[in-house]
A and B are shown apart, each in its own frame.
Chain A
Amino acid sequence: MNYLVQRLLTFPLVLLGVSLLVFFAIRLVPGDAIIAMLGTEAGLLTDAQRASLAAYFGLDQPVVIQYGRWLTGLFQGNLGISTTYGKPVLEVIIARFPLTIELALLSMVIALAVGVPAGVFAATRADRPSDLVVRLFAMLGQSTPSFVVGLVLIYLLSVNFHILPAMGSFTPLFVDPLGNLAQMILPSMTLGLAFAAAVTRIARSSMLDVLSEDYVRTARSKGASQRDVVWRHALPNALIPVVTLSGVEFGYLLGGAVIVEQIYALPGLGRLTLDAISQRDYALVQGAVLFIAFNFLVVNLLVDLAYAALDPRIRLGGK
């Protein structure tokens, strides 16, 4: 069977597994939507009041029946209604998605723009002092958590320079591109630089491998310049592991960068999911996690296809 069709057929199974896990896991956490809304005052409700709220939040049925209902809705393209927003879950998620895509793309651009040249640079100067400096930075970048980088940036800007990208009132890209970019650049750098470190390390080691291969030696012996050897002959092959790494990372980023969105008060998918969990907005948590899982599957599939396109020796489907 065609590899693509095979992969696509596994999607529903994976998603069903994800939906089962998230549906029951979120209900295992103590405290429901009624407690999230009323706090300790929930104790003041009479039985009739509690029943009325339970019906409103869809908590009045046994869990298995709730799951059945939700699954039926899912097949009709209905992810349910978010109790926090009073709107269909899909509508809420779609509204937050552009920011998440933008953040993912911007940080990928930064990561690749910094990471690939840095990796190539280090590989061509292997074991010389400049290589060591790049490797040191890469290690630092990879081992510093994004919340540290983000908080340090915010602190420096606010305390020393009294400037900060506007937090809390997000400007969409199509409303004010410049204002939007001003808000997005710090979060993208926070995410991008950490990932750039990983890209640098992978690009360096894979470049070193490729540079020692026979065909590179052949190219050199035929008189190709160092620049041609590195950028034209070696780089395309050295990029294959970078593509894999970037694909996986991009898949993660599409799930929302929870910590960075939280630090910079960006209304993306990660913060949405976090808030939904804390408010026990079950329908929204389920919908968001399913949406994230779906994105991850699609991105991974695209990466595998790109992999085959980059290296004709690779035949997908094991044939």
Chain B
Amino acid sequence: MHLNFGKTLFTSLAMATLLGTATLALPAQAATLRMAWAQDATGLDPHTQTAFSSLRLLELIYEPLVRLDAEYNVGPAIAKSWEFSSDGLTLTFKLDPNAKFSTGDAVTSADVKASFERLLDEATAAAARANFLSIKTIDTPDPQTVVFNLSQPDAPILIAMSGTNASIVPASAIADGTIGTKAVGSGPFKLDEWDPNVKEVLSANPNWAGGKVGVDGIIISVLPSESSIIDSMRANQIDFALFNDPTIATLIPGEPNMTLNRIPGLAYNVLQLNPARPPMDNVKVRQAISCAVNRQEIIDTALVGEGKVTGPLTMAAFASDPASLFCYKQDVEKAKALMAEAGLADGFSVNVIAATGEPPYAANEAQVLQSQLAAIGVKLTIQTMDLKVYVDTWLKGDFDMAVAQNGGRPDPYPMYNRYFTKDGNLIKVSNFVDPELDKLLQEGRVETDIAKRKPIFQQFEARLAEEAPWIWISSTVTYTANLGTVKGYEINPSGLLFSLSKVTVGE
């Protein structure tokens, strides 16, 4: 008797298919949202986590004092109302009396005070601490009232308080030192289980002040890639997912039963020049590079048409028309003339660094830039590196040029003070100090009248584009996708997943 090789193979295949179908026949838990992403959260402490996925997870569990809506207007969250004093030196919040943590304990002014004191304590290592340095003292006249006393008027502080990094945590958890191990917040969901890089299990928080949550819970699976997420959605195993890669996300509209949601982001794609290194120390060389670049072409090719040409400011409330900025229309002749004025008519060679996979199109962007800059004799050598190696190199400012995607803020001051003020903590990355830019940012920071802030920041933007320490290219798009059975998802660019609290899953 000889075992038949072909038969064995066939039997195994048939068994695999049968078993595969068997799991699918099991009844689906209708009221649990099955979600997926390719990059897992990196931790649970809302004050120290900055990774995209961590913030998305934690915004389901924790709440800040205030929350931004789709137009970046400040709205209520734990606080019902708020008011700046006329001199701009005190900011008073009235808390929602119904706000409760998932343990059932009320959120009080003592929790708010303890949370901000933790944020400001250097030992916490809170990345957002820099945004709250104007807080001098915090008073709690009663359990529902919190008064922040500021050392100087600080218009952007309210927006900074809307971030997940300014979440309110229980004072008792701070005292126990359990933040980061147990996630106890006042948001729509509570975390039942976290197996890093595998899955998160969330259930609806019955104590949430926002009302009844539409699903029983959420299971977030960490899948190996965004294309495997699409596979799982096709197989009806995932209801809702996050996507970052436009080349993958733009496939979704062709899939039956799947909807793609586009969310314009505040982050921006940029070619950072290093003005500390010659010849980029010469403003004419930097301007030549800016003129030689065709921004729309980069979007059309490297970014498969996703995103818009942008100047330094990506928020609609402050941004100028990009066409009004210096050399935003490609002008190779002007670029060549500028190179000649700088004494570099023959061009020069430089390295440009790009991270692999972050953003997913970084290498493509670098290649398009390489071909565009070749027209004026600038020869780019592209160096791609692992993200952590890239970040390490980037933070040291150890590059000629860098293809980067930098995060944005709804307010220009916290977005750029880190790079372009003389005390900015990322000055080593930008290597660019300009007294005019410094002055404009400070003016914009203390001005509380929105109508007066806008022209100040537009001046800042125009100056930045003309000095061209960096070449701003395009705004970004973040994507979510859902099956037809998921109803009620609303786009919110700042609290991307917050509206999952209202979503329902049906047949």
Contact = CB atoms under 8 A, between A and B. Distances in A.
Interface of A: 29-31, 35-46, 48-50, 52-53, 56, 84-86, 110, 113-114, 117-118, 120-121, 124, 134, 154-155, 157-159, 161-170, 178-179, 181-183, 185-186, 189, 227, 262-265, 267, 271-272, 275, 278-280
Given A43-B426, A186-B16, A158 B235 contact: yes
B98 interface: no
Contacts of B407: 40
Given A44-B426, A118-B5, A35 B391 contact: yes
A39 B197 contact: no
Contacts of B21: 163
Interface residues of B, number: 70
B36 interface: yes
Nearest to B43: A37
Contacts of B12: 110, 185, 189
A231 to B, nearest CB: 9
B392 to A, nearest CB: 4
Interface of B: 1-3, 5, 8-9, 12-13, 15-17, 19-24, 26, 34, 36, 42-43, 48-51, 122-127, 129-130, 180-181, 195-199, 219, 221-224, 228, 231-232, 234-238, 386-389, 391-395, 406-407, 418, 425-426, 428-429
Contact of A41 (B24, B50, B181, B428): B50
Nearest to A163: B20
A264 B402 CA distance: 34
Contacts of B124: 49, 52
Contacts of A49: 122-126, 129
Report the 9 A-B pairs with minimum CB-CB distance, sorted nearest first.
A168-B221, A31-B388, A117-B3, A158-B231, A182-B19, A48-B122, A164-B235, A49-B125, A41-B50
Contacts of B42: 36-37, 84, 279
Nearest to A155: B231
Nearest to A49: B125
A170 B198 contact: yes
A185 B3 contact: no
Nearest to B198: A267
Interface centre among A45, A134, A159 (most CB of B within 10 A): A45
Nearest to B195: A267
B51 to A, nearest CB: 6
Nearest to B194: A85
A114 B5 contact: yes
Contacts of B9: 114
A153 B49 CA distance: 37
Interface centre among A36, A40, A157, A227 (most CB of B within 10 A): A40
B197 A275 contact: yes
A183 B23 contact: yes
B181 A43 contact: no
Contact of A40 (B20, B122, B237, B406): B406
